[in-house]
């Protein structure tokens, strides 16, 4: 769903009032960066070669949190520690770090063609955040504003729950 479609959905279906396109873009970006963060479910990958034990290595600038670490044979590795900017491996070797990355923002010039940088199932959650932000500008202490934010959080949690259920593996044994 394109950013302009999300803004129009929030305007026409949720609010029945027009959202300024510039504000809509700002609010989409705010939703992606500040509300969703790692829950936007976008990933990056960084490769670290010839790592020494207990040395600190810089993580990419778009890093949010580690999803998984693999050694050079593709086996999952748990002997590491990371903070917001660096990672330390306990053993010498080559590692691939799969991580949650910060979503890319949308520019006003590309609102007609760009989609929000998050899992596609979350696109329909963003209009609820836009509705909240629209109301929060003028009616920050209003009950409807609070309801819109709770509605956004509820929709986000619902979609994340659905996505989590889909990603589970079920071991099935054949009938003998």
5-24 pLDDT, tens digit per residue, is: 999 999 999 999 999 999 99
Residue 63 C-alpha from the chain's centroid: 11
Beta-carbon count within 10 A of 2 CB: 16
**Rounded to two decimals, what is the model's pTM?**
0.85
The average pLDDT across 16-33 equals: 97
167: pLDDT strictly greater than 90: no
Mean pLDDT of the chain: 92
The average pLDDT across 35-53 equals: 96
Q: Are residues 129 and 27 in contact, defined by beta-carbon separation less than 8 angstroms?
A: yes
In this prediction, residue 173 has a pLDDT band, given cuts at 50, 70 and 90, of low
- Which residue from 28, 8, 29, 30 is spatially nearest to 19, judged by alpha carbons? 8
């Amino acid at each position: 769903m394109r950013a302009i479609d999300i803004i129009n959905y929030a305007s026409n279906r949720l609010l029945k009032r027009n959202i300024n396109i510039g504000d809509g873009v700002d609010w989409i970006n705010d939703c992606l960066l500040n509300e969703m963060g790692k829950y936007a479910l976008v990933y990056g990958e960084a490769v670290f070669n010839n790592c020494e034990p207990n040395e600190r290595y810089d993580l990419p600038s778009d890093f949010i949190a580690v999803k998984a670490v693999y050694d050079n044979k593709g086996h999952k590795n748990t002997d590491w520690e990371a903070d917001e900017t660096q990672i330390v491996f306990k053993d010498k070797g080559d590692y691939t770090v799969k991580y949650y990355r910060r979503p890319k923002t949308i520019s006003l010039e590309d609102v007609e063609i760009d989609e929000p940088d998050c899992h596609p199932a979350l696109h329909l959650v963003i209009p609820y955040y836009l509705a909240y932000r629209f109301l929060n500008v003028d009616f920050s202490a209003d009950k409807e504003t609070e309801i819109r934010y709770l509605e956004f959080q509820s929709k986000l949690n619902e979609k994340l729950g659905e996505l989590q259920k889909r990603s589970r593996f079920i071991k099935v044994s054949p009938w003998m």
